[in-house]
Chain A
C-alpha cells in the first residue's frame, strides 16, 4: 500500500510541471507569436488609447450612441466591502442577474425598462434583448432588431438622416457564422466607432 506513496507525490509534481507550467506557458508563447491581436484580448485602439475590446461590451448611456443590453455586473462597495453596488459592464467581474422567470424583481425591471424604451420609439414593440440582462453581463452584441429599434433616437441626437444610420446598422450586422451557427448580431462598440467616424467626416 505504501508503495503507492512515492508515485503519488512524484506523479503530481511531474503532471504539474507538464500540464500546469510547460503547457500553458508554451501555449502563451505560440499564441503570442501566431495571433498576437487575439491573444492579447482583441483590444481596440483609437488615437493611441485603448478604448476597449472588440469582444467585450461596454456601457453606453448617451442618446448619441447605440446602447448595449442591460448588464447585471457589480463591484464591491468602496464604503462597505461586504456589499456590492451595480456597475454595468464591469469587465473584471463578469456575472448574470440570476433572476428566475417568476421573480418579482425581474418582472418589475423589465416593465420599467420596456416603458422607458417605448417612449423613444413607440411605433414598434421592444426587442427582448434590450430589456434582458446577458449571461456574462459583458455581451458585446445586440440583435439587429435591437439596433434598428434605436435608429430613430441615435439619428435624432446626432442630427443625421435615419436612412444613413440605418445603413450603418445594416453594414455592422453579422449573419450566422458559415450561414449556420449562432444568431445574427451587431457589435455595439464597433457600430458606435463607425458612428463616430461618420460624425467626423
Chain B
C-alpha cells in the first residue's frame, strides 16, 4: 500500500461528496418538472415524444399503473432487442460480419440489458454487430437506467406525499431522465473519452502488421458513446470482452477515475434528491453516511488484501513490493496503468453500485479481495447503488431498521412522518428476501447438476466462488463476473436469465407497493417519542441491520468460497 494509493481513494471520496448536492439539486428540478437551463433546447423534443406516444404529461399514475407501464415498456424493449440480435446478420452496420446470435444467448442478453444487469455471456467483439451495439445495447444502457431511476423517484414520492393516490407518471419520468440527465452528460463526457483515446468509429477491424511482422487484428467500433452511458447508467456491459480493463474502453488513469465518478454520481445524487423531496436534506445525508461508511470499509478491505501480492509467488524470486518503479502487489488480472489502488477502488465502486464494469479481472482477486464485491452485491448494491437498486434497496432496509427500533421501545415505528405498518414491513421483507432466494437457490442447484459444475474454470473453493458470484451478480443486476466460469451454455444462460428477472422485477413490485401505500398515508406530527432518522444513532442502527441481515443470510455460503480459500492460501494449499 502506498500513500499515493490512499490519497487517490480519499480524493475520489471527496469529489463524490462535492458532486452530491449540486447534482441532487439538478435532478430534483428535473423530476419535479421545474424549468432547467436545458429546457429551451430539450423541451420541444420532450413534448414531441409525448405527442407521438399519446402521453398526457399532467396525468399522474397510481402505483399499479406506474408498474404496468414500466413492465410493458420493458417487454417492448425485450422483444426488439431479441429480434435485433437474431436478425443482425441481415442488417447494415456489420463490418465484422457477425452472424445471428444463438437463441439462449440472445434470450440471456436481452434479459440482461433490459434489467440493467449487463451480464455478458458472450465476447462482444466476436458476437455483436455495430448496429446491435448501438441501437440495441446502447439504447438499453439509457432506458434501463432511466427506468431504474424513475422507480427510485416513485418510491421517494411515496415518502414525500401525504394522502395521495399517485406516485408520478412513468413515461414522463423516463423521458425527462433520459433527455435532461443521461444524454447531456453522455455527450460531454463521451467526447472527453474520445479525446483521451476511446475510439468512436464505424470502421472495419484494423489489420496491423506488428514490429515482428505478425498479423494483429484490432477490434474497433463506436466505443465511446457506449462507454460513457455504461458507467453513468451503472449498466456495466463492455463494448469489448475485457470491459473497462480494455485499453480502448479505458485508456488511462484519468478516464478510469472519471468512469468511477460516473458510477457513483447518480446514486449519490439521489440521496440528496430524496432529502430535498421529503423536506430535509439531513435525511438524505444520513443515508449518504451509511453508504459512505460501507464503501470505505469495502475499499479498505480490497486494497489491503491485494497490495501484499500472492504469497505463493514468494518462493520464485518475484518482486511484489511497491516502489517508485512499480505498483507491486497481486498483478494477475490487473493493468499496469491502474496498478493496485485504482483497481481496488474500481472493484469496490462497481459492485457497491449496480454497475458491474470491471477494470481488473475479479476472478483473479485475492480471496478476501473477491469477497468484498460478492458481499456488496449480496446486500443488494445499496451503497450508492447506482440507478436502480441503490436508493430503494437502502430505503427498504431503513424501513426494517425503524421497525426493529420500534420493537425495541414498544412504539409503532415511523419514518419521515409516516407510520410503518404491517403492510410496509411485509413488502420490504419480501423484496429483501427475493435476493437470497435466487442467489442461494440457483447456486445450490448449479453445484449439484453436472451442467452447472461443468462451467467452472478453477478447482476447489474458488470454483464454488465462481458459481456463487455468477448468481449473485445476475440476481443483484450487477453484471460483473468471476469470468472464468463458462456461462455461455443453455444451463447458465437460462438460469442466470431467470435470476436477473427475479432480482429486478420481484424486488420492484413489492417496492412499488410500499411506495403506493406510503403515499396514501397522512403525516404523523413529530413528537418527543419520535426516533430521529437523521442522526448518528440511526446511521449506526441501519448499518447494524444491514450487517446482521446480510451476515445471517450469507455467511454459510461465503465461508464455503472465499473464506475457506483464504484459510487454504494461508496454509499453502493449492487447487
Measured in the bound complex, the distance between the Cα atoms of B320 and A106 in whole Å is 16
Residue numbers in B under 8 Å from A192 (CB-CB):
211
Decide: B565 and A8 in contact? CB cutoff 8 A: no
Interface with A: B148-156, B330-338, B348-356, B539-547, which one? B330-338
Produce 1/0 per residue, B134-174, CB < 8 A to A: 11101101110000000000000000000000000001001
Decide: A140 and B358 in contact? CB cutoff 8 A: no
Residue numbers in B under 8 Å from A18 (CB-CB):
45, 178-179, 183
Measured in the bound complex, the distance between the Cα atoms of B242 and A92 in whole Å is 11
Residue numbers in B under 8 Å from A133 (CB-CB):
332-333
A150 contacts the other chain (CB 8 A)? no
A39-B201, A59-B214, A94-B240 given; A20·B135 CB < 8 A:
yes
Produce 1/0 per residue, A149-164, CB < 8 A to B: 0000000000000000
Produce 1/0 per residue, A167-201, CB < 8 A to B: 00000000011101111110001001100100000
Tell me which of B241, B315, B319, B457 contacts A128 (CB under 8 A). B319
Tell me which of B73, B199, B331, B361 contacts A98 (CB under 8 A). B361
A138 contacts the other chain (CB 8 A)? yes
Produce 1/0 per residue, A33-76, CB < 8 A to B: 01100111111000001111111111111100100010000000
B482 contacts the other chain (CB 8 A)? yes
Decide: B205 and A92 in contact? CB cutoff 8 A: yes
A11 contacts the other chain (CB 8 A)? yes
A127-146 interface with B by 8 A CB criterion: 127-129, 131-146
B37 contacts the other chain (CB 8 A)? no
A102-121 interface with B by 8 A CB criterion: 102-104, 106-107, 110-111, 114-115, 118
Decide: A16 and B80 in contact? CB cutoff 8 A: yes
Residue numbers in B under 8 Å from A102 (CB-CB):
312, 367, 460-462, 565, 568-569, 573-575
Tell me which of B80, B313, B361 contacts A110 (CB under 8 A). B313
B267 contacts the other chain (CB 8 A)? no
In the complex, residue of chain A having the shortest beta-carbon distance to the beta carbon of B311: A101
Measured in the bound complex, the distance between the Cα atoms of B203 and A51 in whole Å is 17
Measured in the bound complex, the distance between the Cα atoms of B391 and A16 in whole Å is 27
Decide: A1 and B218 in contact? CB cutoff 8 A: no
For chain B, the count of residues having a C-beta within 8 Å of the partner chain is 136
Measured in the bound complex, the distance between the Cα atoms of B470 and A37 in whole Å is 38
**How far, in Å, is A200 (CB) from chain B's closest CB?**
13
B521-575 interface with A by 8 A CB criterion: 565, 568-569, 573-575
**How far, in Å, is A57 (CB) from chain B's closest CB?**
8
Tell me which of B11, B342, B358, B483 contacts A182 (CB under 8 A). B342
**How far, in Å, is A145 (CB) from chain B's closest CB?**
4
B404 contacts the other chain (CB 8 A)? no
Decide: A97 and B332 in contact? CB cutoff 8 A: yes
Decide: A144 and B212 in contact? CB cutoff 8 A: no
Interface with A: B23-31, B184-192, B288-296, B380-388, which one? B184-192
In the complex, residue of chain B having the shortest beta-carbon distance to the beta carbon of A173: B325
Measured in the bound complex, the distance between the Cα atoms of B5 and A176 in whole Å is 11
In the complex, residue of chain A having the shortest beta-carbon distance to the beta carbon of B250: A136
A41-B201, A134-B335, A176-B4 given; A98·B484 CB < 8 A:
yes
A27-B222, A139-B247 given; A16·B125 CB < 8 A:
no
Decide: B483 and A96 in contact? CB cutoff 8 A: yes
Tell me which of A30, A57, A60, A145 contacts B325 (CB under 8 A). A145
Residue numbers in B under 8 Å from A132 (CB-CB):
330-334
Measured in the bound complex, the distance between the Cα atoms of B458 and A114 in whole Å is 22
Produce 1/0 per residue, B489-523, CB < 8 A to A: 00000000000000000000000000000000000
Produce 1/0 per residue, B205-238, CB < 8 A to A: 1111111101011111010111001000000000
B459 contacts the other chain (CB 8 A)? yes
For chain A, the count of residues having a C-beta within 8 Å of the partner chain is 108
Measured in the bound complex, the distance between the Cα atoms of B483 and A110 in whole Å is 20
A27-B222, A51-B211, A106-B332 given; A100·B191 CB < 8 A:
no
**How far, in Å, is B151 (CB) from chain A's closest CB?**
15
Interface with A: B48-56, B392-400, B471-479, which one? B48-56
A20-B135, A21-B134, A52-B216 given; A129·B484 CB < 8 A:
no
Decide: B72 and A4 in contact? CB cutoff 8 A: yes
Decide: B72 and A5 in contact? CB cutoff 8 A: yes
A85 contacts the other chain (CB 8 A)? no
A38-B197, A129-B326 given; A138·B190 CB < 8 A:
no
B329 contacts the other chain (CB 8 A)? yes
Decide: B174 and A100 in contact? CB cutoff 8 A: no
**How far, in Å, is B206 (CB) from chain A's closest CB?**
6
A19-B178, A104-B574, A107-B574 given; A138·B191 CB < 8 A:
no
Decide: B360 and A135 in contact? CB cutoff 8 A: yes
Produce 1/0 per residue, B1-21, CB < 8 A to A: 000100110010000000000
Measured in the bound complex, the distance between the Cα atoms of B251 and A185 in whole Å is 12
Residue numbers in A under 8 Å from B196 (CB-CB):
38
Residue numbers in B under 8 Å from A11 (CB-CB):
49, 53, 55, 73, 76, 171, 174-175
Decide: A135 and B245 in contact? CB cutoff 8 A: yes
In the complex, residue of chain A having the shortest beta-carbon distance to the beta carbon of B572: A102
Tell me which of A38, A59, A140 contacts B247 (CB under 8 A). A140
Residue numbers in B under 8 Å from A95 (CB-CB):
123, 241-242, 483
Residue numbers in B under 8 Å from A40 (CB-CB):
199, 201, 203, 220
Residue numbers in B under 8 Å from A55 (CB-CB):
197, 247-248, 251
B445 contacts the other chain (CB 8 A)? no
Tell me which of A54, A98, A144, A178 contacts B457 (CB under 8 A). A98
Decide: A129 and B206 in contact? CB cutoff 8 A: no
B424 contacts the other chain (CB 8 A)? no
Measured in the bound complex, the distance between the Cα atoms of B461 and A102 in whole Å is 9
Residue numbers in A under 8 Å from B136 (CB-CB):
20
Decide: A65 and B212 in contact? CB cutoff 8 A: yes
B247-288 interface with A by 8 A CB criterion: 247-248, 251-254, 256-257
Decide: B200 and A181 in contact? CB cutoff 8 A: no
A4-B68, A94-B242, A183-B337 given; A114·B125 CB < 8 A:
no
**How far, in Å, is B38 (CB) from chain A's closest CB?**
15
In the complex, the 5 A-B pairs of residues with the closest C-beta atoms, listed nearest first = A182-B253, A98-B484, A135-B245, A183-B339, A20-B139
Additional A-B contacts beyond A55-B251, A185-B336 (15; CB < 8 A): A10-B54, A31-B194, A53-B206, A54-B197, A56-B248, A94-B219, A99-B332, A99-B363, A102-B460, A114-B313, A145-B326, A177-B253, A183-B336, A183-B339, A193-B211
Interface of A with B (CB < 8 Å)? 1, 4-12, 14-16, 18-21, 23-25, 27-28, 30-32, 34-35, 38-43, 49-62, 65, 69, 89-104, 106-107, 110-111, 114-115, 118, 124-129, 131-146, 148, 176-178, 180-185, 189, 192-193, 196
Q: List 10 A-B contacts (CB under 8 A).
A: A19-B141, A42-B197, A52-B208, A95-B241, A100-B370, A101-B569, A132-B331, A143-B336, A146-B326, A182-B339
